[in-house]
Structure 1
Amino acid sequence: MDMMTMNLTDFKKIQGKINTVLVPIGMIEAHGPHCALGTDVLIPREFVRRLEESIGDKVLMAPEVTYGHSWGLAPFAGTIDISSEAFSAYVYDICKGFYHNGFEYIILFNGHGGNNSSLDIVTEKLADMGVKSLTVNWFIDYREDIKRIAPDPGHAGEDETSLVLAINENYAYTKGVGSHEIPLPKRFRFKDGGKALYPEGFSGNAEEATWEKGEQLYDLLVGKVLKDIERFWSL
């Protein structure tokens, strides 16, 4: 059920009948020279579209949180970085609002790695309040499965670029992009360190991405997410 297009009458009808809301969370940031700045929003949005076909009668699909925290990519043009404190407080208040509207189960479908630590803080506070939450970080939770289809994943790498191509081939390109490895462990921190970690604003082998791989990834990962949601409902 799409909250964005729902009116008040329809919303009141589902209160008490549906106890789960899914909140997509993304980021606007540099994704190499080749992928859309909104990659981390576009991918969760597409997952929502596909998940709704299976569980749309059981889950309220909320509008996405578009901006997030990206210390690592902040030095690159096109990155709109929100502080971790502001971001976590904002997402917490959104979730608290859903809880007060009767949603006991909250799924945070996250498309951006820089949000992870903030979302951990949010979900701990929600749990103390009585909310049951599930954070889906598709790029981490299912990484080994992803590598069976896209062996060289990364930030705007083979996996993300393929998923974007499967949405719209005008949103990414692969010719001449090449491949980058992260040269330092991410635990090293120094000013503008993201430029050293992510040469040209991406990692992985983007040139090997295809829309066919993107479709295969969506088919695989939607099934994985559905299984995790079923397990979540058993709590």
Structure 2
Amino acid sequence: MDMMTMNLREFEATQKKMNTVLLPIGMIEAHGPHCALGTDVLIPREFVRRLEEIAGDKILMAPEVAYGHSWGLAPFAGTIDVSAQAFSNYVFEICHGFYQNGFENIILFNGHGGNNSSLDVVTEKLADIGVRSLTINWFIDYREDIKRITPDPGHAGEDETSLVLAIDENYAFTKGVGSHEIPLPKRFRFKDGGAVLYPEAFSGNAEAATVQKGEQLYELLTGLILKDIEMLWELERQQRGTIK
């Protein structure tokens, strides 16, 4: 169910019949010369649309958090970087608000790698107050599955570019883009290092991306995501000691 378009009475009715909320989280940042700056928002938004069609009667779909933390891509124009501390505090407060509204299961659907460590902090704090959470980093959690369809994934690489093309071909292009490999392990840190790690603000073989590959990824990953959500509900049943 879409929270954005609900009125007060509809939300109150929703509170009585579900306790799971999905919060999409993204980033506005450079995604090479070829992908929309909002790629990390557009992709979670499309997954949410598909998930709502299947499980919208069990999950409240919350409005997205569009800005996140991106130290790595900060050297590039178009990246709107929020500090890790401010970002993690903000997301925690949003989740705490949902908890106060009766949502004990919180799914953080993350579309941006730079958010990962901050979201780990958020979910630890949520667990301490009694929230069950599931963080979905689709580009990491299902990477081996992704590589079966797009063998050269990356930041605005074959996988992300394909997913954007499947949303709208006006949001990305592939002609003449080529590919980039990350030249150093990401564990190295130095000033403006992201400009070295991500030449032209992307990695992977973006030129190999297609609409068809993007659609295949959505179909495959939506099923895997639903299995993980079912595991969250199974955890709840085990903790409550009852089968609903």
TM bucket, shorter chain:
over 0.9
CA RMSD of aligned residues (A): 0.3
Q: Quote the residue 1:67 is aligned against.
A: 67
CA–CA separation in structure 1 for the residues paired with 2:198 and 2:14: 45
CA–CA separation in structure 2 for the residues paired with 1:194 and 1:177: 19
CA–CA separation in structure 2 for the residues paired with 1:77 and 1:29: 8
TM-superposition CA deviations, 1:41-90 (whole Å, max 9, x none): 00000000000111000000000000000000000000000000000000
Q: Quote the residue 2:147 is aligned against.
A: 147
CA shift, 1:94, in A, is 0.1
CA shift, 1:142, in A, is 0.2
TM-superposition CA deviations, 1:177-202 (whole Å, max 9, x none): 00000000000000000000000000
CA shift, 1:16, in A, is 2.5
Q: Quote the residue 1:183 is aligned against.
A: 183
Q: Quote the residue 2:24 is aligned against.
A: 24
Q: Quote the residue 1:213 is aligned against.
A: 213
CA–CA separation in structure 2 for the residues paired with 1:129 and 1:82: 25
* Residues 14-53 of structure 1: pairs in structure 2 closer than 5 A: 14-53=14-53
Q: Quote the residue 1:97 is aligned against.
A: 97
* Matched residue SS, 1:155: coil
Structure 1, unpaired ranges of 5+: none
Q: Which amino acid aligns with 1:28?
A: I
CA–CA separation in structure 2 for the residues paired with 1:19 and 1:98: 9
CA–CA separation in structure 2 for the residues paired with 1:76 and 1:163: 22
Q: Quote the residue 2:81 is aligned against.
A: 81
Identity of aligned residues (%): 83
Structure 2, unpaired ranges of 5+: 236-244
CA shift, 1:215, in A, is 0.1
**Is 1:223 aligned with 2:223?**
yes
CA–CA separation in structure 2 for the residues paired with 1:210 and 1:197: 25
CA shift, 1:17, in A, is 1.1
* Matched residue SS, 1:134: strand
* Matched residue SS, 1:130: coil
What TM-score do you get using the length of structure 2 for normalisation? 0.96
CA shift, 1:14, in A, is 1.1
CA–CA separation in structure 2 for the residues paired with 1:20 and 1:156: 31
Query: How many residues end up aligned between the 2 structures?
Result: 235
Q: Quote the residue 1:232 is aligned against.
A: 232
CA–CA separation in structure 2 for the residues paired with 1:40 and 1:123: 20
Q: Which amino acid aligns with 1:34?
A: H
CA–CA separation in structure 2 for the residues paired with 1:59 and 1:146: 25
Q: Quote the residue 1:114 is aligned against.
A: 114
Q: Which amino acid aligns with 2:78?
A: G
